[in-house]
């Protein structure tokens, strides 16, 4: 507590004590004592003068004491008035202090609010400082980038100045060259005239050379073709090619019998061959269920068949018996089926007699070999093969009907019609055609086979 305030409170309490003391009531006991003494003096006749003197002295002392007390009271009242004045001043000071305290408290609250605001502002200042720091970093990075960009631009500027200098040099050189060209223009015109004349001669020579090159290329192509056609193919390659492109055939025929329907089928392996217009599967009559006999040929009720290669199967729609030889049978195959089948289409030999030897391939047992053949002048559509073929692989074996005969160029010559003669293919005209299919109602086929047998019997005995 403030010492000044404590002193003021103590003075205030002393003044209250002095003010509340009843000085008038304190004095009478002395008076009562005097009265009692007087009564005692009155009642005691034997009181001596000393007692009276003592009483007088006591009374004077009492008066003196009262006078002192009165003086002290006056002094105390003055002091009290002064104290009251001081108390009033102190109360006024107290009010001022309370006002100052309220002002101070109000200021403290304001300071607290300012402190809170300052703390919040300090937080915001930290975020702003971080933001400013980031912006500073970005500006530093941007300044660094601009510095690099400035260095690059300075480098480009230097290079541009260098290029400008080079261009200036080039311009000066070009001007000098222009002057030189201007001076040489007349000579160039004269040279152009001379070159035009030479160009005309060169163009004429070029035309002649082009014509010669074209003729040479044409002759070269013809020569290459001739070399390919004249170069014999190894029989092993021909047989390998056959194995890779062979087609399986199956023909089924049904005819009435004594005890019911008589069903007969035949499987064979063959190739696809083209005459330049259509594609056919080639077979011998022995590769079909049909045959020639001297008896009355039967009428077949149903004829079906299919061509197979791998997983592909195609139905047979018709069988053509060629006019060249009644034993030659071909099955026409449409181009879409040929494409799906994927087998090689053999060409007919354009010059079947160019080589003295032919390659015979037997499809059923996989034998093949090379043998010489001769032209039969009496039968131009046939060639005679040596019926004894000696090979390293199979030893000696003889050709038989149904064997395929290839030229040494790899093209097909024809098909063996018997064990000695091969029919040379070239004409695929059909003498007779039989339709095939499950839903095809066959006409009387006996007449067809009767005519085919008659044509076969009319052939020379060596060709039968």
What pLDDT shows up at residue 195? 82
Of 19-28, 292-301, 308-317, give the lowest mean pLDDT range: 19-28
Ramachandran bin of 243, using left for φ above 0, alpha for ψ from -120 to 50, beta for the remaining angles: alpha
Distance CA 143, CA 137 (A): 9
34: confidence class by pLDDT, cuts 50, 70, 90: very low
Q: Strand, coil or helix: what is 163?
A: helix
Distance CA 405, CA 371 (A): 10
Mean pLDDT, residues 165-183 taken together: 79
Q: Name the residue with higher pLDDT: 1 or 197.
A: 197
C-alpha pair distances (Å), 202 with each of 51, 57, 206: 190, 183, 6
- Supply angle C-alpha 389, 395, 400, rounded to 5: 40
Nearest to 440 by CA among 348, 298, 269, 316: 316
The 10s digit of each residue's pLDDT in 384-440 is 987 766 554 455 678 889 999 999 888 999 999 998 999 999 889 999 999 998 888
Pick the CATH number of 235-463 from 1.10.10, 2.40.10, 1.10.8, 1.10.3470: 2.40.10
247: confidence class by pLDDT, cuts 50, 70, 90: very high
Nearest to 279 by CA among 226, 342, 189: 342
38: confidence class by pLDDT, cuts 50, 70, 90: low
Q: Name the residue with higher pLDDT: 393 or 39.
A: 39
The pairing of strands 357-361 and 404-406 is antiparallel
Question: Is the pLDDT score of 325 beyond 90?
Answer: yes
What pLDDT shows up at residue 32? 46
Other CB atoms within a 10 A radius of the CB of residue 56 amount to 11
Tokens of 403: 């064997």
H or E stretch covering 261: strand 260-270
Question: Is the pLDDT score of 318 beyond 60?
Answer: yes
Q: Name the residue with higher pLDDT: 17 or 332.
A: 332
Question: Is the pLDDT score of 105 beyond 80?
Answer: no
Is the separation of the CB atoms in 355 and 235 below 8 Å? no
What pLDDT shows up at residue 52? 56
Q: Strand, coil or helix: what is 359?
A: strand
Question: Is the pLDDT score of 149 beyond 80?
Answer: yes
Cβ neighbours of residue 92 closer than 8 Å, sequence gap 6 or more: none
253: confidence class by pLDDT, cuts 50, 70, 90: very high
> In this prediction, what percent of the chain has a pLDDT beyond 90?
27
Q: Name the residue with higher pLDDT: 24 or 181.
A: 181
What pLDDT shows up at residue 433? 92
What pLDDT shows up at residue 59? 66
Q: Name the residue with higher pLDDT: 40 or 380.
A: 380
- pTM score over 0.75: no
What pLDDT shows up at residue 54? 61
Average pLDDT, the chain: 80
Of 33-37, 289-293, 335-339, 413-417, give the lowest mean pLDDT range: 33-37
Question: Is the pLDDT score of 31 beyond 50?
Answer: no
Question: Given strand 279-284, what is the order of strands in its sheet?
Answer: 345-347, 272-274, 279-284, 328-333, 318-322, 430-435
Is the separation of the CB atoms in 280 and 432 below 8 Å? no
Distance CA 281, CA 274 (A): 9
Question: Is the pLDDT score of 40 beyond 80?
Answer: no
What pLDDT shows up at residue 248? 93
Helices (H), 27-48: 28-43
Mean pLDDT, residues 273-298 taken together: 87
């Amino acid at each position: 507590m403030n010492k000044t305030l404590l002193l003021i409170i103590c003075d205030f309490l002393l003044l209250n004590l002095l003010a509340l003391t009843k000085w008038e009531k304190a004095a009478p006991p002395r008076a009562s004592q005097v009265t009692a003494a007087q009564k005692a003096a009155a009642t005691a006749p034997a009181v001596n003068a000393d007692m009276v003197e003592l009483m007088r002295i006591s009374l004077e002392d009492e008066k003196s004491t009262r006078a002192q007390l009165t003086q002290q009271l006056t002094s105390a009242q003055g002091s009290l008035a002064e104290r009251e004045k001081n108390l009033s001043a102190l109360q006024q000071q107290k009010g001022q202090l309370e006002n100052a305290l309220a002002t101070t408290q109000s200021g403290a609250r304001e300071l607290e609010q300012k402190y809170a605001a300052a703390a919040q502002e300090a937080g915001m200042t930290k975020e702003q400082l971080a933001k400013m720091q980031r912006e500073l970093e970005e500006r530093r990075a941007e300044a660094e980038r601009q510095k690099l960009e400035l260095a690059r631009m300075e480098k480009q500027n230097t290079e541009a100045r260098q290029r400008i200098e080079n261009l200036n040099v080039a311009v000066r050189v070009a001007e000098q060259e222009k002057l030189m060209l201007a001076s040489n223009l007349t000579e160039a015109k004269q040279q152009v005239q001379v070159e035009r004349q030479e160009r005309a001669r060169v163009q004429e020579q070029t035309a002649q050379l082009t014509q010669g090159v074209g003729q040479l290329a044409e002759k070269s192509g013809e020569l290459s073709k001739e070399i390919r056609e004249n170069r014999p193919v190894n029989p092993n390659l021909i047989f390998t090619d056959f194995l890779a492109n062979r087609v399986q055939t199956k023909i089924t025929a049904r005819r009435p019998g004594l005890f019911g329907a008589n069903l007969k089928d035949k499987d064979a392996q063959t190739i696809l061959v083209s005459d330049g217009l259509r594609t056919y599967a080639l077979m011998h009559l022995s590769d079909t269920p049909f045959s020639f006999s001297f008896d009355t040929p039967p009428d077949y009720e149903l004829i079906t068949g299919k061509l197979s290669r791998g997983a592909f199967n195609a139905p047979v729609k018709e069988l053509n018996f060629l006019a060249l030889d009644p034993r030659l049978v071909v099955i026409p195959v449409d181009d879409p089926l040929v494409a799906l089948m994927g087998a090689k289409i053999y060409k007919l030999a354009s010059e079947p007699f160019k080589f003295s030897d032919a390659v015979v391939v037997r499809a059923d047992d996989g034998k093949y070999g090379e043998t010489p053949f001769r032209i039969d002048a009496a039968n131009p559509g046939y060639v005679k093969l040596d019926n004894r073929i000696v090979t390293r692989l199979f030893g000696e074996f003889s050709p038989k009907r149904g064997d395929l005969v290839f030229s040494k160029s790899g093209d097909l010559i024809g098909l063996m019609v018997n064990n000695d003669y091969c029919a040379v293919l070239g004409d695929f005209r059909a003498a007779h055609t039989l339709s095939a299919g499950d839903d095809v109602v066959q006409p009387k086929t006996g007449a067809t086979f009767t005519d085919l047998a008659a044509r076969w019997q009319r052939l020379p005995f060596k060709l039968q």
